[in-house]
Amino acid sequence: MAHDHDHDHSHPGSELSPMELRVRALESVLVEKGYVDPAALDALIETYETKVGPHNGARVVARAWVDPAFRARLMADATPAMRELGIGGRGGEHMVVVANTPEEHNLVVCTLCSCYPWPVLGLPPVWYKSPPYRSRAVIEPRAVLAEFGVTLPADQRIRVWDSTAELRYMVLPMRPAGTEGLDEAALAALVTRDAMIGTGLPHTPEQNA
């Protein structure tokens, strides 16, 4: 039996992109043919809109920036430390957090496919899954970072971490200068998804102003 699916995920007055239109059409066909339960689809969409995503990773980073004891637990065993903030689940069962320092910058890749820590970073960007990124990140990471707009000091090492289905990595970026008076929420707003992959840096307060 076909099901009606009238829930609109767009906002009034918003225009859908060509990709969004294709997704909407595919969704309608799958629901009409009974392949997808509308309630299950809505629950899945709600999960990726509210329960998983880079905002979770940003909370982890901000807490580590302000709470040395939490940072120590995070670096020792990231999975239970993240659970303290209610963050975990499929794709985040075995997490390792690697911290950037003035001496070392970390970069995460999955050379085999696109293993990615969904609970803390959400859906992987298209470029993360692309063969050029997966191969070049290992061979010439400094050049790849430059293409993302990240130019590091020549004496700062770059360490590349290869995620797998069993073990997934997240980068703890360095706290930006001039953020001493910010609370956790304001700090989390500075943390970008790319900074937690290593292909970007956190914003400064001026950039977010």
Per-residue pLDDT of the chain (209 residues; tens, 9 = 90+): 333 334 444 444 446 677 667 767 776 777 777 776 665 555 444 444 445 579 999 999 999 999 999 999 999 999 999 999 999 877 678 999 999 999 999 999 999 988 999 899 988 999 999 999 999 999 999 999 999 999 999 999 999 999 998 899 999 999 999 999 999 999 999 999 999 999 999 999 988 77
99 and 156 within one domain: yes
Neighbour count for residue 131 (Cβ, 10 Å): 8
Task: Report yes or no on 137 lying in a domain.
Answer: yes
CA dihedral 62, 100, 125, 57 (to 10 degrees): -20
**pLDDT score recorded for residue 32:** 78
31 and 97 within one domain: no
Active-site position among 110, 130, 135, 163? 110
Whether 121 contacts 196, CB under 8 Å: yes
131 and 28 within one domain: no
In degrees and rounded to multiples of 5, residue 36 shows phi and psi of -130, 135
Number of folded domains that form the chain = 2
Element (H, E) at 13: none
Instruction: Give yes or no: 110 in active site.
Output: yes
69 and 40 within one domain: no
Q: What is the pTM of this model?
A: 0.77
Active-site position among 14, 113, 130, 135? 113
Residue range(s) defining the domain that contains residue 159? 54-208
Using CA atoms, how far residue 75 sits from 10, 67, 122, 176, 190, in Å, is 39, 12, 21, 19, 21
Instruction: Give yes or no: 114 in active site.
Output: yes
CATH assignment at residue 184? 3.90.330.10
**pLDDT score recorded for residue 123:** 86
Task: Report yes or no on 5 lying in a domain.
Answer: no
Residues 84 and 96: their CA atoms lie apart, in Å, by 15
Please state the separation of Cα 135 from the chain's center in Å: 20
**pLDDT score recorded for residue 9:** 42
Strands 157-162 vs 104-109: parallel, antiparallel or unpaired: parallel
Task: Report yes or no on 92 lying in a domain.
Answer: yes
